[in-house]
């Protein structure tokens, strides 16, 4: 077989049984791999209403058919399960070196069932797969786990995926990490792994990956590489650079979304960290498997109370652990980043949850008694660094409270604190964009099946793109030409000044989400942008050349839509309806009118009316019912999801 290994590895942790099954042709064709095959397996292998942290939940890791070929940037592993944070669908994806090694070992997906009686880790040595005792690893952080496994098994080329203390303590936003610093962070996938008593997966693969048409693939890769080289030049310092500009225009969410500015916040961005001598090199410098771009920073703090080293920080880390908590001290933020990494926490949810606690403390809803004596105020760097390990181990009153995430913590503490809990009704903490000033993302963050973040459709509509998306309708040309560049879109200019018709907003969202699903199914990194990820023609060319399954861009995007729709169906099966497609209360009701904000953005909220209007259009073009938000039967049938429709119908979940 070309590209794929035709193999799913099943591990029943309860019965300690390990077996292989082929990745069937129907599954490959309907869902490709990675995120796609994962969601289909999740649907089949869990029963409705499954408890996320029970033995009945499954944990699925998936790679794509392009990983292990010369297509650059194919490092992604998608992890799929039912989320303990939201009680809904979650997929979380990580880069690092794991996916390639797993492919070379001969597997496409791993499915974990049941729960191990004692702490265990899975050791995959090509064909030999065994569960090993991990009692001596339990309590180790991710870095210690990684080196202990490599040392004990005597091979430094082993690649390790593991949880840290946070996953062991079932923190609702615990991450799964590989190559030490690469996180599948969102939605508490690490807690699911912890609940299964599974500390780590170690893999060594020495096999080969063959492709159907090397010459054709070579041509496509050369073309993409040219584009990537150009792109890489614009992406020095990886994701972290955007911070400077956003902070300068008062659009960088700070103080738990009460402001758009943090004094000295630019110091948390790559160029400044490099200037101050914290970075290994004056550019982004750490690459995932097969990624010559290497978007990650590597930092070292040589002395002082915050001494340490780690990969990062990313844009989102600096947002959540720095801007949102009001901490602009680079050394403290670097330490906080390191702690999240090695203890295995989602940096977004960690920072946003701590910010919620800081605001609650300043408003008197939380007292010193609740915080175990910590002065939990915005800007308190020492408290920030102290509290992260407490969360990871659920230590003290405050550690246990914050380990539950903002939604549950606000329910426990009560008062008005839910109003500044920055998660939506699904229960996931929001990522770092102020939606009040970014209209298209009000829509995409609200409908995202896992919760309000950017990785199901990170929209940056350029004029050319909107023209393309609206079907090159000449009457739209003028509109398209009026669209400001992406940087200005952040400033609110996009939504409020241009005021694109809601129908166009809906089309933009869908244009992106199809491509995002395909990208995740193929195992490609979204940082490849227009070179691969947003270029359906390139993806279909590469997919066809690698697998020999001749597939047009349209067919590929159709698979993307099938994947995205099935994810929604899973949520519906688990109790979802339209009321959960919303945004954090503050974003919908409290205007952005802090000092310094641009007049375009002043007074703006993502009002329920605007969001609903966009959603109506969006549901309509999808063929979903406006009242429930559920897909109609013919929508599912058109996508080849007849049996899903049947199951939903039996449950009374057909509009």
Partner 1 sequence: MDNILIVDYEKCNGCQYCMLVCSMAHEGYVQMSRSRVKVYKLESEALGIPMLCEHCDEPPCIPSCPVDALGKDIKSGIVSIDLQTCTGCKLCVEACPYSAVRMNPDGNKAFICDLCGGDPECAKACMPKAITWVEAKPSAIWMKNHCTDKRVEAMERLLEV
Chain positions contacting partner 1, by CB under 8 A: 68-70, 72, 97, 100, 104, 143, 146-147, 156-157, 179-181, 206-211, 214, 225, 228-229, 232, 280-281, 285-294, 296, 298, 309, 311
Report the DSSP beta bridge partners of residue 81: 90
Please tell me the count of residues contacting ligand SF4 according to CB under 6 A. 13
Partner in contact with 525, chosen from ligand SF4, partner 1, none, beta carbon below 5 to 8 Å by kind = ligand SF4
The sheet that has 17-21: what strands, in order across it? 17-21, 8-12, 109-113, 59-62, 77-82, 89-94
Asked whether position 288 contacts ligand SF4 by CB under 6 A, the answer is: yes
Structure tokens at 628: 């429930």
How far apart are CB 204 and partner 1 at their closest, in Å?
10
When the beta carbons of 356 and 456 are compared against ligand SF4, the nearer one is: 456
What's the rounded Cα separation, in Å, for the pair 440 and 511? 12
What is the length of the chain? 655
Asked whether position 292 contacts ligand SF4 by CB under 6 A, the answer is: yes
Site string for ligand SF4, 498-537 (x = CB under 6 A): ---------------------------x-x----------
Q: Which of 287, 461, 495, 631 binds ligand SF4 (CB under 6 A)?
A: 287
How far apart are CB 286 and ligand SF4 at their closest, in Å?
6
Asked whether position 422 contacts ligand SF4 by CB under 6 A, the answer is: no
Asked whether position 218 contacts ligand SF4 by CB under 6 A, the answer is: no
Phi, psi of 136 (to 5 degrees): -75, -15
What's the rounded Cα separation, in Å, for the pair 395 and 25? 48
Residue-wise DSSP of 407-446: HHHHHHH-TTGGGG--B-TT-PBP-S--GGG-HHHHHHHH
When the beta carbons of 281 and 626 are compared against partner 1, the nearer one is: 281
When the beta carbons of 172 and 296 are compared against ligand SF4, the nearer one is: 296
Phi, psi of 120 (to 5 degrees): -140, 160
**596 burial type by CB count under 10 A (0-12 exposed, 13-18 middle, 19+ buried):** exposed
Asked whether position 296 contacts ligand SF4 by CB under 6 A, the answer is: yes
Partner in contact with 188, chosen from partner 1, ligand SF4, none, beta carbon below 5 to 8 Å by kind = none
Could you tell me if 388 and 339 are in contact, meaning their C-beta atoms sit under 8 angstroms apart? yes
**Binding segment (CB under 6 A) for ligand SF4, from list 284-292, 308-316, 320-328, 387-395:** 284-292
Buried b (16+ CB within 10 A) or exposed e, 469-485: bbeeeeebeebbeebee
Contacting residues for 44 by C-beta, under 8 A, at least 6 apart: none
What's the rounded Cα separation, in Å, for the pair 252 and 261? 6
Asked whether position 313 contacts ligand SF4 by CB under 6 A, the answer is: no
**Binding segment (CB under 6 A) for ligand SF4, from list 40-48, 63-71, 265-273, 293-301:** 293-301
How far apart are CB 431 and ligand SF4 at their closest, in Å?
16
What's the rounded Cα separation, in Å, for the pair 175 and 184? 6
What's the rounded Cα separation, in Å, for the pair 485 and 283? 24
Partner in contact with 181, chosen from ligand SF4, partner 1, none, beta carbon below 5 to 8 Å by kind = partner 1
Site string for ligand SF4, 105-144 (x = CB under 6 A): ----------------------------------------
Q: Containing H/E element for 113?
A: strand 109-113
Question: Is the N-terminal amide bond of 239 cis, ω within 30° of 0?
Answer: no
How far apart are CB 111 and ligand SF4 at their closest, in Å?
25
Could you tell me if 76 and 95 are in contact, meaning their C-beta atoms sit under 8 angstroms apart? yes
Q: Which of 205, 260, 294, 326 binds ligand SF4 (CB under 6 A)?
A: 294
When the beta carbons of 41 and 347 are compared against ligand SF4, the nearer one is: 347
Binding site for ligand SF4 (CB under 6 A): 73, 75, 95, 287-288, 291-296, 525, 527
């Amino acid at each position: 077989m070309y590209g794929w290994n035709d193999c799913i590895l099943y591990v029943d942790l309860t019965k300690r049984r390990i077996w292989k099954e082929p990745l069937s042709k129907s599954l490959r064709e309907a869902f490709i791999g990675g995120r796609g095959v994962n969601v289909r397996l999740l649907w089949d292998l869990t029963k409705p209403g499954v408890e996320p942290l029970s033995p009945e939940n499954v944990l699925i890791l998936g790679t794509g058919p392009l990983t292990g070929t010369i297509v650059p940037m194919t490092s992604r592993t998608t992890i799929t399960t039912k989320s303990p944070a939201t009680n809904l669908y979650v997929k979380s994806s990580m880069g690092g070196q794991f996916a390639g090694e797993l492919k070379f070992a001969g597997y496409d997906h791993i499915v974990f069932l049941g729960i191990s009686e004692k702490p265990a880790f899975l050791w995959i040595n090509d064909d030999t797969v065994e569960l090993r005792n991990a009692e001596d690893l339990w309590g180790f952080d991710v870095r210690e786990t990684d080196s202990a496994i490599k040392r004990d098994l005597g091979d430094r080329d082993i690649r390790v995926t593991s949880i840290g203390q946070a996953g062991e303590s079932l923190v609702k936003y615990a991450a799964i990490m590989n190559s030490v610093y690469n996180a599948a962070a969102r939605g508490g996938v690490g807690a699911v792994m912890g609940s299964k008593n599974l500390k780590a997966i170690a893999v060594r693969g020495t096999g080969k990956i063959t492709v159907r048409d090397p010459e054709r693939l070579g041509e496509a890769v050369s073309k993409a590489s040219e584009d990537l080289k150009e792109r890489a030049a614009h992406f020095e310092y990886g994701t972290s650079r955007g911070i400077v500009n956003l902070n300068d225009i008062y659009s960088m969410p700070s103080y738990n979304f009460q402001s758009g500015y943090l004094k000295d916040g630019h110091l948390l961005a790559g160029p400044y960290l490099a200037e101050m001598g914290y970075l290994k090199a004056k550019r982004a410098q750490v690459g995932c498997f097969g990624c010559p771009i290497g978007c990650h920073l590597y930092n070292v703090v040589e002395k002082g109370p915050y001494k340490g080293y780690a990969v990062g920080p990313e844009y989102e880390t600096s947002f959540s652990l720095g801007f949102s908590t009001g901490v602009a001290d680079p050394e403290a933020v670097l330490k906080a980043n390191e702690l999240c990494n090695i203890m295995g926490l989602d940096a977004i949810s960690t920072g946003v949850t701590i910010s919620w606690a800081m605001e609650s403390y300043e408003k008197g809803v939380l007292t010193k008694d609740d915080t175990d004596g910590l002065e939990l105020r915005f800007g308190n760097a020492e408290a920030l660094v102290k509290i992260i390990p407490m969360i990871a181990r659920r230590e003290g009153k405050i550690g246990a409270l914050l380990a539950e995430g903002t939604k549950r913590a606000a329910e426990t503490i009560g008062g008005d604190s839910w109003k500044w809990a920055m998660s939506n009704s699904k229960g996931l903490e929001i990522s770092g964009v102020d939606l009040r000033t970014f209209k298209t993302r009000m829509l995409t963050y609200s409908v995202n099946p896992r919760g309000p973040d950017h990785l199901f459709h990170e929209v940056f509509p350029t004029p050319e793109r909107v023209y393309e998306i609206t079907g090159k309708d000449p009457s739209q040309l003028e509109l398209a030409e009026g669209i400001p560049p992406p940087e200005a879109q952040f400033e609110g200019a996009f939504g409020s000044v241009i005021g694109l018709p809601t129908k166009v907003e809906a089309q933009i969202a869908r244009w992106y989400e199809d491509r995002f699903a395909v990208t995740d199914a193929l195992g490609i990194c979204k940082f490849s942008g227009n070179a691969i990820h947003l270029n359906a023609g390139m993806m279909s060319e590469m997919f066809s050349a690698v697998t020999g399954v001749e597939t047009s861009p349209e067919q590929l995007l159709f698979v993307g839509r099938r994947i995205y729709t099935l994810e929604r169906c899973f949520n519906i099966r688990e109790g979802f309806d339209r009321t959960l497609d919303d945004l954090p209360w503050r974003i919908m009701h409290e205007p952005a009118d802090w000092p310094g904000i641009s007049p375009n953005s002043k007074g703006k909220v993502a009002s329920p009316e605007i969001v609903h209007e966009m959603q109506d259009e969006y549901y309509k073009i999808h063929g979903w019912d406006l009242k429930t938000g559920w897909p109609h039967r013919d929508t599912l049938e058109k996508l080849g999801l007849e049996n899903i429709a049947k199951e939903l119908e039996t449950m009374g979940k057909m509009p």
